[in-house]
Each structure stands twice: as structure tokens, then as C-alpha cells.
Amino acid sequence: MEGQALERDSSLVTYERLVVERSDGIGWLILNRPDAGNAFDALMLDELEAAWADLDADPEVRVIVNIANGKAFCTGMDVVQVARDKAAMRKHSRRTRDAGLKISSWHCGVWKPVIAAVNGVCAGGGLHLVADADIVIAAESATFVDPHVSVGQAVAYEAITLLRKSPMEAITRMALSGKGERIPAQRAYELGIVSEVVAAEELTAAAGRLAAAVATNSPTAMRATRRPCGDRSKSAYPKPSMTRAKRYGGCATILTTRRVFERGERSVPPIGSPWTPWRSRDLSATHRGAPGAGGLDHQQPPRPAQRL
């Protein structure tokens, strides 16, 4: 990180957008595109998938620390490349559409403990790295924001996974506020998004100390511990029906977002269940208390809850 010396004896794996290091059982995955706010371009996304696999396959690595060089932790997708070079991002756009992302450790099937150390702003797609980490610490200067709705996109996967760490009210507020509101590090600590807040100049050292403590433990025991604590059945992330997605604007994430956030519906209905978009429902009938109208009719019995 900028202003912090990474004084570790390590073998350097060559990447263009990342730095991958190893030291004393700790793998360091460092986002290294500081001039672009560590935004994800196509090359960085390809390298992330390779780097997670690289560290996960190394028997000498017992824990992975994800940090970033520069002032920002990660500002999400590179909107400049998305606008100017759609072909370069096509593979990753399809992965987003098909719920096949390969950004975070969980996306890539990593079972080693992962610590995220957030030094600055973490925005949009960068929230995957926070939501899917086992432990998150942050510098006092860190902030968290989800600008999707501010640029006309639906919030989906990041918000759903953050619900494992934080109450729904806070995540819904962040999702609907867009770029108009940021969660500062101390507030993120209060909400359970991060477990520790330290001075910016101490972040790398704090992450190293924590990782060193984790690395002393049995890899087999840690893997067994993470399975019940961190496993998220893919049934909670059903592959979207692309027929339905195209019918409702071509955005698969809208379907997932609606299941979590729409008008108090806090459970995920079975995939393939009938659904009428909110804007086309007969709200006038609902206010008259007509049974079966959906939406706000409090006279109807609640739908059976399905756990995320």
C-alpha cells in the first residue's frame, strides 16, 4: 500500500494488475492498479481468477491476505473499458449475467482463510472481496459504497452476500442510496462488516499479525471450521432464467435483487415460480384489500419463508 513498506521475503509471481507474494505461510494478493483506483478491467479479472487458484494450490500458504496498493481498495468495474471496449469485457459480462463470477475467493472455490484489509474506498464490485472474505479489517480512512443504482444498474450479488455480515436495513440503505452515501470505517465496524479498524499506516502490519496468528493453526481444522461458518449453498444463488431476464430488461441481476429487496419480501422464492413485475401489479386492488392482489395486502397470510 502507498506509504507502507511491504518488507517481506517472498517469491514474486508476475502479473500486470496484481502482485502475489508468499511469506511464512501467508499469501499476499495485492491489487496493483492504483492509477485507476484498482478498478477491475478484463485483465485484472483474468488475473484474479489465476491468483486465487495459484495461492489455493500452494501447500505452503495457509492464509491469504487481500490488500491494495494506492489510495483506493477497489472501485469496482472499470467503467471506461466497459464503455469503450465492450469486446474485452464480454466474457466477464456473461459471467455476471449467468451468476458465474470469478472475482473473490469464494467465487473461485478457495477454502483457505482469507483476510481482506481495506485501505480506502471500496465500491461496487469491490464489495465482493469484502463480502466473501472470512475476516475484514479496515483503515480509519476506508469507506464502503455501492453506486450501482446511481448509474442505472441493479444491485444484486454484492448486497446478498453482505447480508451474511450486516443487518439488512444497513445494506438496503447502502444499495438504494447509491453514490449519495458512504459507510465510513467506524460505522462498518458497528454494523459488523469489518471486525477491526486501525490507523492507515498500521493496516498492513495489523493484517500481517492477524494472518500470522491464523497461519499457526491446523489447515485441516481451519478448513473444517470454515465449511459450516462460510459455506453458502449455491442454491441461494440460483442460475437466473435468461428467458425471464430478457423479458424484464435483459439484466439477470434484477431478478435476484427483486427477490431480496422488493417491498419487504425477505426470502428467495423457488426458481421458476410465477412472478409479475412490481410495476404491472394491480396496486389499487391491493389497497382495497382484495385477496390475491399481492404486494401490500396485510390481510393475506405471509408467504412461507425460505432461508438464504
- Average of pLDDT values for 39-60? 93
Greater confidence (281 vs 75) lies with: 75
CA distances from 70 to 17, 38, 39, 44, 147 (A): 13, 8, 12, 16, 21
Mean pLDDT, all residues of the chain:
76
- Widest CA span in the chain: 71
Q: At what angle do helices 42-57 and 90-97 cross, to 10 degrees?
A: 70
pLDDT at 35 (0 to 100): 95
Greater confidence (195 vs 225) lies with: 195
pLDDT at 206 (0 to 100): 98
Question: In this model, does residue 50 exceed pLDDT 70?
Answer: yes
CA distance 96 to 102: 9
CA distance 174 to 170: 6
Greater confidence (305 vs 154) lies with: 154
- 122 DSSP β-pair partners: 74, 144
Cell digits of residue 48: 484474479
Least confident span in 30-39, 278-287, 299-308: 278-287
DSSP for 127-168?
A: HHHHHT-SEEEEETT-EEE--GGGGT----HHHHHHTTTS-H
pLDDT at 77 (0 to 100): 87
Cell digits of residue 110: 478457495
pLDDT grade for 95, boundaries at 50, 70 and 90: low
Q: Where are the domains of the chain?
A: 18-230, 238-308
For 133-136, the CB contacts below 8 A with 24+ separation are 133/66, 133/104, 133/105, 134/226, 134/229, 134/230, 135/195, 135/210, 135/214, 136/165, 136/193, 136/194, 136/195
* Tens digit of each residue's pLDDT (9 = 90 or more) over 194-217: 999 999 999 999 999 999 999 999
pLDDT at 305 (0 to 100): 53
pLDDT grade for 261, boundaries at 50, 70 and 90: very low
Cell digits of residue 18: 496484481
3-state DSSP helix/strand/coil % of the chain, to nearest 5: 40, 15, 45
Question: In this model, does residue 193 exceed pLDDT 50?
Answer: yes
* Tens digit of each residue's pLDDT (9 = 90 or more) over 105-155: 988 999 899 999 999 999 999 999 999 999 999 999 999 999 988 888 778
Cell digits of residue 270: 423457488
Greater confidence (289 vs 88) lies with: 88
Alpha carbon of residue 243 to chain centroid:
26
Cell digits of residue 161: 452476500
Greater confidence (189 vs 263) lies with: 189
Least confident span in 1-5, 208-212, 296-300: 296-300
List the one residue out of 184, 189, 160 whose CA is nearest residue 172: 160
12, amino acid identity: L
Question: For domain 18-230, is the CATH number 3.90.226.10?
Answer: yes
* Under 8 Å between Cβ of 255 and 248: yes
CA distance 253 to 86: 19
Cell digits of residue 85: 471496449
pLDDT at 240 (0 to 100): 40
pLDDT at 151 (0 to 100): 82
List the one residue out of 110, 116, 113, 105 whose CA is nearest residue 74: 116
3-class DSSP assignment, residue 115: strand
pLDDT at 217 (0 to 100): 93
Question: In this model, does residue 43 exceed pLDDT 70?
Answer: yes
* Tens digit of each residue's pLDDT (9 = 90 or more) over 226-246: 876 655 544 334 444 333 333
